[in-house]
Amino acid sequence: MKIHLIGAGAMGGVYGGLLALSGQDVTLIDTREDHVATIMREGLSVEGVRGDHRVRIPAVTSADGLPKADFAIVFTDANATAGAARTAAQVLGADGFAMTLQNGIGNVEKLVAELGATRVVAGVSMNSAASPAPARAVYTNAGMTSIGELDGKETARIREVADMLERAGIPTEIVSDPMAHVWSKFVLNCGINVLTAVTGLRSGEMFRVPEMNALQERVIDEILLVVERKGITLAEPDPRRKIREHCRVRYNKPSMMQHVEQGRPTEIDAINGALVREAKALGLAVPYNETLVAVVKGLEKSRRQALHEPPADYARLEAEAEAEVERERSGH
């Protein structure tokens, strides 16, 4: 099976690297030129719970000219899903299909809109990873990958994907309702990632602050209200307990926390932001989640300014603001 992996960050690097290490024909597609150039020059470093490996693997910044693939795995962040779906349509053969293992909700729907429902499979990864530098992927926690066909059938192709991941050292199960698993992980992410991002505390650290526990309970109340009102069936029978147990024992950095620290856009719009949109459509108030979304948006801006933009000229900005106010007062 020829595989194109779209989005070779922390998780994409781990999956792509381990698949290549197991003998699969994998090409990485990622828009970051320094990342791809380093992979092509030095190989991809995959470190952590499956050992430390230097993997020689093709990597490109553009899908132009790539041979057609049988299978594409989409691991971009949720902000780039629409573009990733177009890339998948470009690189897949006529019988090729794509799988998303991304965070958040809405990703499956974007792939279906581009490829059609029969060419999309869905799943979630309960693994954790980090990418501390270009061409490095650190596998920080090994968990289950749950995948399935959207119609619930167990097909030859989904069995082949599961076997392939298992041979790569990535524990995988086939599930009959992958969207129940997508929503379960969405609930987990909503209840944890945003709180680590705004505090800078890892999950286990946050668990040991009583005030954060109280805030998390209110956030979870809102999440589960939306799930109930939408009539969503979750794969996890007790999501509140799952969130609390996860926080108690995990000290990895969730991706949203990593993105804030790096001054990168987060996936807040596909996680708590999506929850807020769902709540509004149902006529529900979710003030805790709405507030946290706003705080993350502010953090994105402040970290981007601090890390990636020249120092602000605040005197000039004040003068411009005062002139704007004066024009409004004078009616001009």
* pLDDT tens string 149-168: 999 999 999 999 999 999 99
Distances (CA, A) of 61 to 12, 33, 38, 139, 235: 14, 6, 12, 23, 36
Residues whose CB falls within 8 Å of the CB of residue 195, separated by 6 or more in sequence, listed in order: 201, 206, 212, 215, 216, 219, 292
Q: Cα–Cα distance between 102 and 123 in angstroms, integer?
A: 8
- Report the domain count for the chain: 2
Chain-centroid distance of CA 103 in Å reads 4
Q: Is the pLDDT of residue 204 over 90?
A: yes
Q: Which residues span the domain enclosing 301?
A: 181-308
Q: Is the pLDDT of residue 332 over 90?
A: no
| Model pLDDT, residue 331 | 82
- Residues 203, 146 share a domain: no
**Residue 151: HSE in the Cβ half-sphere, 13 Å Cα cutoff:** 7
| Model pLDDT, residue 61 | 97
Nearest by Cα to 181 from 107, 129, 78: 107
Question: Does residue 131 lie within any of the structural domains?
Answer: yes
Question: Does residue 317 lie within any of the structural domains?
Answer: no
Q: Tens digits of per-residue pLDDT, 73-109?
A: 999 999 999 999 999 999 999 999 999 999 999 999 9
- Residues 166, 222 share a domain: no
- Residues 205, 286 share a domain: yes
**Residue 8 parent element (H or E):** none
CATH for 193: 1.10.1040.10
The answer to whether the Cα torsion of 37, 42, 43, 49 is positive or negative is negative
CATH for 144: 3.40.50.720
- Residues 162, 297 share a domain: no
**Could you tell me the pLDDT band of residue 317, with boundaries at 50, 70 and 90?**
very high
Q: Tens digits of per-residue pLDDT, 260-286?
A: 999 999 999 999 999 999 999 999 999
Cβ atoms of residues 110 and 122 within 8 Å = no
- Residues 195, 76 share a domain: no
